[in-house]
Amino acid sequence: MILLTGGAGYIGSHVAVALLDAGLDVVVLDNLSNSSPASLRRVQSICGRPVAFRQVDIRDEEAVYDALKTYGVTAVIHLAGLKAVGESNQQPLNYYDNNVLGSMRLLSAMQRAAVKTIVFSSSATVYGAPSYLPLNEEHALAPTNPYGRTKLFIEEMLRDLHAADGDWRIGVLRYFNPVGAHESGYIGENPLGIPNNLLPFIAQVAVGRREKLTVWGCDYPTPDGTGVRDFVHVCDLAAGHLRILKHLKAPGLLTVNLGTGEGSSVLQVIQTFEAVSGRAVPYEMGERRNGDVAVCYADPILAKNVMGWKSTRSLMQMCADHWRWQSRNPTGYSA
């Protein structure tokens, strides 16, 4: 039985599908602070199999311990966390409490229950401003905001835990920019409030929920002047979790990037989205945002060499799948 923290959220619901499709049993712990239980009902209907669910905050160590014991959990995939960079600048203590303290409590419960296999959702934000590209796992770690620092601190905690007790099996996945949705169109990203990320914003403009997009910065030293990022399909990302679980059959600690290795500019994404959706995405150019870098993309070779993972889906497919989800669920799970 795999315990999935944050499994009702965007990436978690896709990881749940990948695990169930692979024949594994799943129990989700989520406090629903940024998600809806409807996503798990959809997961069940995609897979035709049940998902156990407990509405639990990972900071509640006893509740986590109880779930680990009750369900006979053998491994944890830990996605629960707050993830908005801008919000983390305004509410740093909330981010340290939820993400860092939450992970400490989770790890303590795991240690007590003798469950010593964990896959952690880290982020490319741990690298900070790239000093070279593509970003490999050896790049210095210097996040530039509290959100990124919570990810770095949790990574450090995992490294210390592994150094202290070699029985642990730890996978750290540094996601680049997850986008897209399951091809069924049943599950997808469902931001509450104003979307922080590019694709959900574009999709909400295309579906008519927002008037226009602001492109933050058009004078970067890139081919079209807009920022370049490494967008990776959420189903490719989900497959990476299965791969690393297989790799963690023996004790050890593995840290890998999950990205495509290719950068796409904001304008390229808008144009691709317009082409696959047949909808116009009006946009205006804005100033650069503080802390944004011009270009960021992964070196994904380690994930390929060590665990045989490689992204397979194109930007066009990412946009097509994102649009299928958004157009069939214009108001997300509230429909």
Ligand X SMILES: NC(=O)c1ccc[n+]([C@@H]2O[C@H](COP(=O)([O-])OP(=O)(O)OC[C@H]3O[C@@H](n4cnc5c(N)ncnc54)[C@H](O)[C@@H]3O)[C@@H](O)[C@H]2O)c1
Cis preceding linkage at 134, omega within 30: yes
Stretch that binds ligand X, among 6-14, 132-140, 221-229, 312-320 (CB under 6 A): 6-14
Write out the two tokens for 98. Answer: 């939820």
Amino acid present at 10:
Y
Q: Could you say which of 79, 198, 232, 266 contacts ligand X (CB under 6 A)?
A: 79
Residue count at the site for ligand X (CB under 6 A)? 29
Q: Does 117 bind ligand X (CB under 6 A)?
A: no
SS3 of 285, please? strand
Minimum separation from the CB atom of position 166 to ligand X (A): 26
Task: For the CB of residue 250, give the shortest distance to ligand X in the complex, in Å.
Answer: 25
Of 81, 143, 171, 180, which lies in the binding site for ligand X, with binding defined by CB under 6 A?
Answer: 81
Contacts of 58 (CB under 8 A, 6+ apart): 5, 29, 31, 64, 78, 80, 102, 103, 105, 106
Nearer to ligand X, 193 or 221 (CB): 193
83 belongs to the binding site for ligand X (CB under 6 A)? yes
Q: Which residue in 27, 57, 134, 325 binds ligand X (CB under 6 A)?
A: 57
Question: Which position among 95, 175, 186, 309 is part of the footprint of ligand X (CB under 6 A)?
Answer: 175
Selected from 33, 89, 91, 271, the binder of ligand X by CB under 6 A is: 33
**DSSP-derived 3-state class of residue 195:** coil
Residue type, 82: L
Question: In the complex, what is the shortest distance from the CB of residue 269 to ligand X, in angstroms, rounded to a whole number?
Answer: 14
Q: Of residues 59, 69, 304, 328, which one binds ligand X by CB under 6 A?
A: 59
Q: What is the edge-to-edge ordering of all strands in the sheet holding 117-123?
A: 52-55, 26-30, 2-5, 75-78, 117-123, 169-175, 252-258
Q: Tell me if 103 contacts ligand X by CB under 6 A.
A: no
147 catalytic residue (yes or no): yes
**With binding defined as CB under 6 A, does residue 260 bind ligand X?**
no
Using only the alpha carbons of the chain, give its radius of gyration.
19
> Could you tell me the CA-to-CA distances from 196 to 49, 173, 231 in Å, in that order?
32, 21, 15
CB of 35 to ligand X, least distance (A): 3
- Write the DSSP symbol of residue 97: I
Rounded-to-integer distance, Cα 295 and Cα 84, Å:
20
Residue 53 CB, nearest approach to ligand X (Å): 11
Which structure tokens are listed for 125? Answer: 């934000």
Instruction: Name the active-site residue from 10, 127, 147, 220.
Output: 147
User: C-alpha angle with apex 171: 239 to 26, nearest 5 degrees?
Assistant: 55
Per CB under 6 A, does 113 bind ligand X?
Answer: no
Strand 264-265 versus strand 228-229 pairing type: antiparallel
Judged by the rule CB under 6 A, the positions of this chain that interact with ligand X are: 5-6, 8-12, 30-35, 57-59, 79-83, 98, 102, 121, 123, 175, 177-178, 197
Residues identified as active-site: 147
